[in-house]
Amino acid sequence: MVLEISTSRAIAPQILRHRSFSFQEFSQRYAEADSFIPGKARRQDLRNRQNSIDDIDEQTQLWFEQTQKEIWEFAHKKYSESLERGIAKECARALLPLSTATRLYMNGTIRSWIHYIQLRTDISTQLEHRMVAEQCREVFVKQLPLIAKALKWDMQ
């Protein structure tokens, strides 16, 4: 099964670590970057370094959202200026933040998809990556209903 995944440059490396898949990534070397995916602020879990806790106050959330937007706008402006100055896209992309949107094509066996979905829909997975895995599970359930039923994914 091959799926197109839209995510940020921050989450893409986590997905690319799954070595049983083959990947193609949208290349910002050849095409211009034009959008970003803002993240939500969460507090670091002091007991589990791989976890974050969703209890940040609204004022801090708004600050974080606005800050991401400001950084994107500034970085994208400088990125665009670089292109206007004749700097190659492959060089100019170094100015873009990790919130820059990217697109992956993820190709794997059904067995690999089952393992990936089971692993990455777990609560211990970073929220943004978990959301990607949950969307993958939705496609899996729709396209492979008998296998999804055997896995009891059709009830989730």
Catalytic residues: 120
> Rounded to an integer, what distance in angstroms lies between the CA atom of residue 50 and that of residue 38?
20
Name the H helices within the chain. 12-16, 58-84, 89-92, 110-120, 127-143, 145-150
CA distances from 118 to 18, 35, 75, 81, 100 (A): 13, 30, 36, 44, 27
Among 72, 95, 74, smallest CA distance to 83 is for 95
DSSP letter at 36 equals: B
- 8 A C-beta contact, residue 108 and residue 20: yes
Would you call 57 helix, strand, or coil by DSSP? coil
Burial class (CB in 10 A: 0-12, 13-18, 19+), 116: buried
